[in-house]
Structure 1
Amino acid sequence: KNNLFRAIKMTEVGGEEKKDFDSQSISWQEDQPLKNYVQKFKTYYEKPKAVASSNRKFDSDIVRNVYRRFRLGYIVLFDIDKSRFFRKWNLEVNKGVIAKVEDLELKETVLLLEGNKRNTSCATITRNIGLRDKVTSEYYFLCMLVRNSMQYFELKVLLADLHGIVRTFRIRNYATVATVQSRECLVPLRMKKGWNRLCINLNQLCKDAYNTNYRQLLQLSVHNNCRLAYVLMLRDGIETKSFPPRYRTKKNM
């Protein structure tokens, strides 16, 4: 450091002697140009750098949330290719298998949930939706790309309605009749063989079952006997140009 400041002092011309300058138990009594350089270094490189980094992180979060909410029109809840979305899910395995596999039809990595063909509790992934996820009443279309294995499959949706009452919707492909209870509703699901792009209107489900509106998604569980590529929450249920090619509807789905 002394050599550095000595070299800088030699390059500067003129100046007056000033008071001592102390920094981390090191003191100098230098001329004006050198002291100006040290002061400039401390004020413009150390302090603003820390402030700028925190502001940049804060501003980027705001910009990303605003852009995602008002421009993109979708929120990603699950994507096997993006680890930050996959880490938020809880895995429960009971005599089942949860693994990443390469799908030959999609030619990309998907999540495999395998278990007993008549038991949907062998392998389950669950995500609790928090306030930071911003899954509010604007996003009420649950969209996912799932492969039908021609076995029992179940999707559990936990949400809050407009009055703050928690409702549970169990969507099953082996159910034939819809049943409505005080806080739980069973919904039949029809799926074709192979990959299916499901788009479920949660607001319409609340209206049909309980004559109220959807407010917020609280929890989502996907059970075994399927392959899962992604899970989204859409604002309008309509694809836009801002959608990545991975999230767009394929021709054969």
Structure 2
Amino acid sequence: MFHNTFQSGLLSVLYSIGSKPLQIWDKKVRNGHIKRINDEDIQSLIIEILGTNVSTTYISCPLDPKKTLGIKLPYLVMIIKNMKKYFTFEVQILDDKGVKRRFRASNFQSNTRVKPFICTMPMRLDEGWNQIQFNLADFTKRAYGTAYVETLRIQIHANCRIRRIYFADRLYSEDELPAEFKLYLPIKSGIQGAGSSPTSDDDPTVATASAFCTLIF
């Protein structure tokens, strides 16, 4: 999909506020739902993926299973809400040996397992909204001793809420990110949440989310 696109900085593949946020995503639903709703915490539209079985309700990109993303940027960043239910996501990459590898992170797994074509690992989410930062190049090197070339496909399973998913050439500080890439939490009664700070002198009614997910390797 992005093979012929100049890639630098930030490359977004899902933004919940867009007119067609799932345009390049395939959707699979069994005993659950995938829909856009308003989140009460951030008071904005998000994508909700809920299902009784995490393996049967998910979204995947690209839409065409025969195509690949071709994204060479090494950092995957996802702004995800912890629904206090089972949740998993999967990333398929290509390494410099020409081998397709999958990384699967789950909040219901306790140990990291590395097999020839798939690495599964535990994930700890804080309460509420989280920013998941996945260093694909580092994980590829540590798990397989090879170099990351590109991301082929990503799959986000139930149960979660999604604000944005994007790739980056490096990790950006909060001050460096464009406003639309930040997650704003309304400040109630003028009291900020822990670890939050006003994002603008012009708007004292919002604070940025500061919780980060931990991938355990």
TM-score range, shorter chain: 0.7 to 0.9
Does the CA contact (< 8 Å) of 1:145 and 1:231 recur in 2? yes
Q: Secondary structure at the match of 2:167?
A: strand
For the residues of structure 2 that align with 1:156 and 1:179, how far apart are their CA atoms? 14
Q: Secondary structure at the match of 1:99?
A: strand
Bigger strand share: 2
Correspondence for 1:79 among 15, 18, 38 = 15
TM alignment of 1:150-165, pairs within 5 A: 150-165=84-99
- Aligned-pair distance for 1:231? 0.1
- Does the C-alpha gap of structure 1 residues 148 and 251 become closer, same or farther in structure 2, counting only changes over 3 Å? closer
1:113 aligns to what?
A: 49
2:129 aligns to what?
A: 195
TM alignment of 1:24-63, pairs within 5 A: none
- Aligned-pair distance for 1:243? 3.1
For the residues of structure 1 that align with 2:21 and 2:159, how far apart are their CA atoms? 21
2:28 aligns to what?
A: 92
2:202 aligns to what?
A: none
Q: Secondary structure at the match of 1:120?
A: coil
TM-score by length of 1: 0.66
Could you tell me which amino acid in structure 2 is paired with residue 115 of structure 1?
G
Could you tell me which amino acid in structure 1 is paired with residue 15 of structure 2?
D
| Larger Rg computed on CA atoms | 1
- Does the C-alpha gap of structure 1 residues 252 and 182 become closer, same or farther in structure 2, counting only changes over 3 Å? closer
Q: Secondary structure at the match of 1:189?
A: strand
Correspondence for 1:222 among 147, 156, 172 = 156
- Aligned-pair distance for 1:85? 5.0
Count of residue pairs the alignment pairs up: 180
Q: Structure 2 unaligned runs (5+)?
A: 184-207, 212-217
- Aligned-pair distance for 1:135? 1.2
Does the CA contact (< 8 Å) of 1:162 and 1:213 recur in 2? yes
For the residues of structure 2 that align with 1:242 and 1:182, how far apart are their CA atoms? 37
1:141 aligns to what?
A: 75
Higher relative contact order (CA 8 A, sep 6+): 2
- Aligned-pair distance for 1:122? 3.5
Q: Runs of 4+ in structure 1 displaced over 6 angstroms?
A: none
Q: Give the superposed CA RMSD.
A: 2.0
For the residues of structure 2 that align with 1:198 and 1:121, how far apart are their CA atoms? 20
Q: Structure 1 unaligned runs (5+)?
A: 1-64
- Aligned-pair distance for 1:241? 6.0
- Aligned-pair distance for 1:239? 3.7
- Aligned-pair distance for 1:134? 5.5
Percent identity, please.
24
Q: Deviations over 1:161-210 (max 9, x none)?
A: 11110001111111110001111111111111111011110111101110
Bigger helix share: 1
Does the CA contact (< 8 Å) of 2:70 and 2:152 recur in 1? no
2:38 aligns to what?
A: 102
Q: Deviations over 1:122-179 (max 9, x none)?
A: 4200002857x6511xx11110100011111000111101111000111111111000
- Aligned-pair distance for 1:84? 5.2
Deviates more, 1:184-193 or 1:79-88: 79-88
